[in-house]
Structure 1
Amino acid sequence: MRLVQVAQHADDLDRAAGFYSSLLGADATAVFDPPGLLFFDLDGVRLLLDRNAPTALLYLHVDDVAAALERIGDRAEVVSAPHVIFTHEDDTLGPAGHDEWQAFVEDSEGNTVGLISFRPVAS
């Protein structure tokens, strides 16, 4: 079994497309309006932005949390600045020998989105 699709609420598809295109560094893969559906490909998992979907708390892997925040600029409010939340001693939840960095932003539609990146532990 694998995850195929996650949905997130979006009132304004154009605004959401701008935000997520900036964050993900990729254009939408499909738009169906009506009924109000916008899709992005997340490495084989569909991200659906939908006017009728409830809000969800998404955690998205990015190469570098700070760089992702720079890319989205003033399109999002930073809820929690980048910080280390965990050091992975083994590969159970992330790559061994790496710090897990997270930040949280409020997207263009008022949803909270977590951003995660991994960096080797500094010696």
Structure 2
Amino acid sequence: MRLQQIAQHAEDLGRAADFYRVLLEAEPLARFDEPGLLFFELDGVRLLLDRNAPTSLIYLYVDNVHETLERLGGLADVVSHPHVIFHHHDDTLGPAEHDEWQAFIRDSEGNTVGLIAFQRP
């Protein structure tokens, strides 16, 4: 079994497309104005932005949390600035001997999105 799709609320598909295009550095896979669906591909998992979906908290892996926030510029409100949440001594939840950095942003649709990066201290 594997995760196939994650849905996130998006009231304005155009605005959401602009935001996620910058965040994900990717073009949408498909857009259906009726019934209000927008798809992106995340390494084999579909991200569905849907007018009828509830909001959810998703965490996205990024290479560098600080650089991702810089690239987004003023497109996102920072809810929680980058910080180390955990040092991984083994590889149970992340790469061994790496710090796990997290930050939280609010997307164009008001959803909170977590950003995670693993870096050597």
Aligned to 2:15, what secondary structure does the other structure show? Answer: helix
In structure 1, distance between residues paired with 2:66 and 2:78: 11
In structure 2, distance between residues paired with 1:71 and 1:40: 19
Point out where structure 1 has 5 or more consecutive residues left out of the alignment.
none
In structure 1, distance between residues paired with 2:9 and 2:46: 14
2:108 aligned with 1:108, yes or no? yes
The offset of 1:72, in angstroms, is 1.1
TM superposition score normalised by structure 2: 0.99
TM superposition score normalised by structure 1: 0.97
In structure 1, distance between residues paired with 2:113 and 2:56: 8
Residues 39-60 of structure 1: CA deviation (Å, up to 9, x unaligned)? 0000000000000000000000
The offset of 1:97, in angstroms, is 0.5
**Partner residue in 2 for 1:92:** 92
Point out where structure 2 has 5 or more consecutive residues left out of the alignment.
none
Supply the AA of the counterpart residue of 2:65.
V
In structure 2, distance between residues paired with 1:89 and 1:83: 18
The offset of 1:115, in angstroms, is 0.2
Residue correspondence of structure 1 range 1-12 to structure 2 within 5 A: 1-12=1-12
**Partner residue in 1 for 2:63:** 63
Residue correspondence of structure 1 range 4-23 to structure 2 within 5 A: 4-23=4-23
RMSD, matched Cα = 0.5
The offset of 1:70, in angstroms, is 1.1
Residues 37-94 of structure 1: CA deviation (Å, up to 9, x unaligned)? 0000000000000000000000000010011111111111000000000000000000
**Partner residue in 2 for 1:54:** 54
In structure 2, distance between residues paired with 1:42 and 1:112: 17
Aligned to 1:72, what secondary structure does the other structure show? Answer: helix
Question: Which consecutive segments of 4 or more residues in structure 1 shift more than 4 A?
Answer: none
In structure 1, distance between residues paired with 2:106 and 2:93: 25
